Amino acid sequence: RKGEEIYWKDETVRYHHEFVTKELGVKSEEIIYKEGVWSGGGNAGPDLESVVRGLEIATLVFMKFKTVDGRFIELPIKTVDTGYGIERYAWLSQGAVSCFHAVYGEVLSKIMEEAGITSVDERLLTEVSKLSNLINVATGSGRPEGWRLIKERTGMSREELVGMFRPLVNVFTVTDHTKCLAFLLAEGVIPSNVREGYIARLMVRKTYRLLRTLSLENLMPELIEMQIDYWSRDFPHLEEMRDEILEVLTAELKKFEQTLAKGEVLVRRIIREGKRRGAAEISTETLTELYDSHGLPPEIVAEIAEGEGVKVNIPENFYSLVAERHMKAPKTVRPSAEPQLESEVSDLPETRRLYYDDPYISEFDAKVVGVLDGNMIVLDKTAFYPEGGGQPADKGHIEFGGLRSKVIDVQRVGRVIVHRLEGAVPKVGEKVHGVIDWNRRISLMRHHTATHLLMGAARRVLGRHVWQAGAQKGVERSRLDISHYKRLTLEEIHEIERLANLAVLRNMPVEAFWMPREEAEKRYGFRLYQGGVVPGKEIRIVKSGDWEVEACGGTHCRTTGEVGLIKVIRTERVQDGVERLVFAAGLPALRAVQENESKLVKVSGTLNVPVERVEKAAENLVAEWRRLRQERERLMETLARFMAKEYLEDSKIIGGLRLVLRVAKGVSVDQLIKVANEITRAEPRAVV
């Protein structure tokens, strides 16, 4: 809390020192502290690095500044940010040759065995590891001096050492990446081209490429299973998600194999075009484009290019550069007037939200406590729901002094609710009577509750990897975006519909209540945040029986039965890894079914068959259309041969070539191409 100090630098260092010396038994004189400044994520502060026998085991950062345009500005609340390298303590205590040996144990041994690495020169590896600390991987600084010392100490050149240790380094990387993938996929991350999904895709493709250098590219699923077996002892969730992890991985590998097959043709074409221009290498820009747009790792591009005698220089930070492009969250554009409104309402009392007290209140009385910008008012209490959480704002009207004005928009600004009016505006202190457009509100409530029911159904049908990736509620149509690694089949859509409607028929209570955040997370887990993490120490929970529970600020039905029919109207792929369900609930769902029925009846009339025979009649019609198309094609080819013969008979020989001149009327371009082909086939010297 601001102004209250719990502990700071001296205590932090003392606690750390006592832990390392008294609890772990490290001698005090073996601990080295390096002072510095740590900066990242917009914050900064002085730091101490704790080093034992050359191994950094902790970083103690005293966050006291925020960074703005390269300047340090003191924070009102200072925090201690300690980074204890737990795996490094394991490495230090075991005295293992590397951190990977200490952490991965039997998994590393098995992967080394598969890669044909039977022994490691531990003395040499230890010496190289110590000296490599002189090289800054991020900036490359110290590289010449580092390699000079390594050669001096070991008697081996850089090329010799790289050749000796490259397979081992690749095994280390594969071991670490496959563990990371197991945990990422277990948390429901779907490989894609944006944000965390991009990291998962990057990991799959980098791991595949490394396994390929070890001739183990077909073993990735097996290695992931090894990681699940090893880590599920401490993280049982991995075992629970085993089947889904492997299913998502298999689908992603299949996509990548298809990418590689198409990509080789593309790379060879780029190389041919480059050679025509005299280019001797593939640029970094082209490498980035091939990876970003076509999914081709630069190492595989280099393999293909090498066979064509073309150079490829891959920047060491290539993957970091492309990952940065995909990790930026979409910017939320705030209405330009909102900052000004925040200032105007800062002194107004918090609006009592009647829509939370009882979402079925359709009329209410209130008092005006603020008038803003001419046509906006703030009431002491309101039943009008403001736009938020994918639910549109309520509409309706207010009555005062014999007048009536439409409420055309409602927004939450800080602790108050702002109503935008069309018509006369009441004065501060005036009493008003608010009336909600109830048909609109109840439809939005049904669609919002239906969204939760569909989410629960989708997870039951598709798997626990499914997360909500976005939602928008509407009066007639709503949409729910879910994370999934492939297109939904009709059978899956029907099963999601069936389960969602089963939840409706069970008529379960829909409860909305507030809980302390920590308690809610302990009881329900982070699945609460399907619609995103909500701010505040207390969060509002919406629980639909035993079907679904989410942190949600929207208005909902009292029971699932009030939702009525739920109908998925269509699905679409909005981006790689995200499926969109467009659906309707209640009367709009019935209207959607009736619209489809009307179309079916119209088609049956056009085909002149009963509705129950439409499918068979359509199949017969398509089959007949295909037969006629083939027959037409055959007749057109016969006609082309006849026309070609006729045209050749009227042609002239000029300079050893047969010139065919003809003005054709009423003949399609496709037919003329066929005729020209027949002419050149019959007479290679013909010029048409």
pLDDT digits (tens, 9 = 90+) for 125-165: 888 877 776 666 555 555 677 777 888 888 888 788 888 88
In the predicted model, what is the mean pLDDT of residues 580-604?
A: 95
Rg of the chain (C-alpha set): 34
Residues 271 and 42: their CA atoms lie apart, in Å, by 43
Parse the chain into domains and list their residue ranges.
Answer: 9-92, 103-326, 338-436, 442-602, 620-687
Predicted confidence (pLDDT) at residue 383 exceeds the cutoff of 90: yes
Tokens of 391: 């639910």
Tokens of 53: 């026998």
Tokens of 85: 């390298």
Tokens of 16: 């750390």
Residues 303 and 671: their CA atoms lie apart, in Å, by 45
**Residues with Cβ within 8 Å of residue 84, at least 6 apart in sequence:** 57, 58
Kindly indicate the confidence band of residue 195, based on its pLDDT and cuts at 50, 70 and 90: confident
Token pair 């009016």 is found at 421
Helix extents (H) in 232-317: 237-240, 242-276, 284-294, 298-307
Residues 243 and 552: their CA atoms lie apart, in Å, by 30
Token pair 């409602």 is found at 410
**Residues with Cβ within 8 Å of residue 199, at least 6 apart in sequence:** 184, 189, 323, 327
Can you give the pLDDT at residue 330?
Answer: 53
Fold that domain 338-436 belongs to in CATH: Elongation Factor Tu (Ef-tu); domain 3 (2.40.30)
Residues 280 and 305: their CA atoms lie apart, in Å, by 10
Helix extents (H) in 277-359: 284-294, 298-307, 318-326, 338-345, 354-357
Helix extents (H) in 506-613: 517-524, 587-607
Q: Residue 217 carries which DSSP code?
A: G
Predicted confidence (pLDDT) at residue 20 exceeds the cutoff of 50: yes
- Nearest one of 511, 509, 502, 489 to 566, comparing CA atoms: 502
| 3-state DSSP of 524-543 | HCHHHHCCCCCCCCEEEEEE
Q: Is the CB of residue 555 less than 8 Å from the CB of residue 446?
A: no
Predicted confidence (pLDDT) at residue 668 exceeds the cutoff of 70: yes
Kindly indicate the confidence band of residue 333, based on its pLDDT and cuts at 50, 70 and 90: very low
Residues 487 and 492: their CA atoms lie apart, in Å, by 10
Q: Is the CB of residue 617 less than 8 Å from the CB of residue 603?
A: no
**pTM score over 0.85:** no
Q: Is the CB of residue 74 less than 8 Å from the CB of residue 85?
A: no
Can you give the pLDDT at residue 123?
Answer: 84
- In 552-671 the beta strands, taken as DSSP E runs, fall at 566-575, 578-585, 652-654, 657-659
Instruction: Let me know how long the chain is.
Output: 688
Can you give the pLDDT at residue 273?
Answer: 83
Residues 413 and 358: their CA atoms lie apart, in Å, by 21
Can you give the pLDDT at residue 332?
Answer: 47
Output 195 or 613, whichever has higher pLDDT: 613
pLDDT digits (tens, 9 = 90+) for 399-438: 999 999 999 999 999 899 999 999 999 999 999 999 999 9
Tokens of 681: 């086939």
Residues 149 and 133: their CA atoms lie apart, in Å, by 11
Q: Is the CB of residue 360 less than 8 Å from the CB of residue 394?
A: no
Residues 501 and 675: their CA atoms lie apart, in Å, by 60
- Nearest one of 575, 592, 578, 541 to 458, comparing CA atoms: 578
Q: Residue 187 carries which DSSP code?
A: T
Kindly indicate the confidence band of residue 337, based on its pLDDT and cuts at 50, 70 and 90: very low
Residues 130 and 123: their CA atoms lie apart, in Å, by 11
CA 25 from chain centre, in angstroms, equals 45
Can you give the pLDDT at residue 129?
Answer: 77
Token pair 């729910």 is found at 480
Buried b (16+ CB within 10 A) or exposed e, 563-602: bbbbbbbebeeeeebbbbbbbbbbebbeebeeeeeeeeee
pLDDT digits (tens, 9 = 90+) for 284-313: 888 888 887 777 888 888 888 887 778 888
Predicted confidence (pLDDT) at residue 620 exceeds the cutoff of 60: yes
Can you give the pLDDT at residue 46?
Answer: 94
Tokens of 356: 């939370």
Buried b (16+ CB within 10 A) or exposed e, 629-655: eeeeeeeeeeebbebbeebbeebeeee
Domain 442-602: CATH superfamily is Threonyl-trna Synthetase; Chain A, domain 2 (3.30.980.10)
pLDDT digits (tens, 9 = 90+) for 78-119: 999 988 888 889 988 888 888 899 999 999 999 999 999 888
Token pair 């100090």 is found at 5
